[in-house]
Amino acid sequence: MTTMFDPHNVRFAIMPTCWVNDDFPWVGDAPYQQIMSEMALAGFEGCSVSHTYPSDPAVLKREMDLRGLVVSEPWVSLYFTAHDMVDLTLESFAAELDKVVAMGGTEMVVAELGNSVHQLPDVALLPNKPILDADQWQRLADGLNEVGRMTAEKGLLLCYHHHMGTGVQTRAEVDRLMSLTNPDTVHLLLDAGHLAWAGDDPLAMARAYAHRIRHVHLKDIRQSLRDEAVAKRWSFYQGVMAGVFTVPGDGDIDFRPIFEVLADANYAGWFSVEAEQDPLKANPLEYALRARAYIREVVGF
């Protein structure tokens, strides 16, 4: 079978959000041992961390080593647009950066959460997302350029995650952020599911920023439920629990042309499956296996 990517340059991870959620807890979180074991069983090499994982980096590394897993990314929340939060944001980022370095990680995934609404279970998502003013845009850009410099000095990559319910949600907002930040140290994480929920085209953004995309979240959407979420003004929580998101190959996004665009750009790095679904409705191991089978079919390994 012909492969799109050099197998030595591309790795596949899966996020704990298929099992548990840090923004809003599911009913009956699975123990971390089960989560990690099922990730490995499904054929993945990496994952991010979760509130259910051991907080001691040495214990965490030992548990992951047992299962052949590595930390593909951390999630680090930024608050550069919030008043009087710049110093605290830089301090907490530096601490997380040190942890990832100790774990042997290679990337830092960040998103600006100042005034974000995606963690509010009863607040309509699209009408209430923050709209950044000129001063906030500049503070965010300056902050990202600084943490990008810090990350590069440690030999890691900083990748910005556009996210529903935040100030950088739409393609236009991503364009503005990219124009204000240093392309050498501030890279882009492409999340097809989030961009599609925002009403924009993931393939078009992949084409526009293939040279700057250094991390990819493979998140699919069920378009009919996304449209219902918009029409009924659901919160992010309501949309997730209803099943707007799913794993690649199970929803309505065609990932093949996205893979092709990135392969043509010689993409190297992580592809991370992420599907925030209610585990009582969508068995995590079943969907992890389904996602890995789809990736194998499309990518070739």
pLDDT grade for 189, boundaries at 50, 70 and 90: very high
Query: Residue 82: how many CB atoms within 10 A of its CB?
Result: 18
Query: In the structure, what pLDDT confidence band is assigned to residue 83 with cuts at 50, 70 and 90?
Result: confident
**pLDDT (0 to 100) of residue 57:** 86
For residues 231 and 243, give the distance between their C-alpha atoms in angstroms, rounded to a whole number: 15
Tell me, yes or no, whether 3 lies in a domain. no
Number of domains in the chain: 1
Q: Evaluate if residue 277 carries a pLDDT over 80.
A: yes
The pLDDT assigned to 154 comes to: 97
Beta pairing partners, 207: none
Residue 2 within any structural domain of the chain: no
Question: Domain containing 122: what range?
Answer: 10-299
* 4 is a domain residue: no
Per-residue confidence (pLDDT) for residue 2, from 0 to 100 = 66
| Assigned domain for 46 exists | yes
* Average pLDDT estimate for 92-118: 94
Name the β-bridge partners of 47: 71
- Answer whether residue 60 is part of any domain: yes
Q: Let me know if residue 5 belongs to a domain.
A: no
Residues above pLDDT 70, as percent of the chain: 98
Structural contact between residues 103 and 139, judged by C-beta atoms closer than 8 angstroms: no
Look at residue 28 and tell me whether its pLDDT is greater than 80. Answer: no
- Tell me if 209 is assigned to some domain: yes
Read off the CATH number of the domain in which 48 is found: 3.20.20.150
Q: Is residue 234 part of a domain?
A: yes
b/e map 1-20, b = 16+ CB within 10 Å? eeebbeeeebbbbbbbbbbb
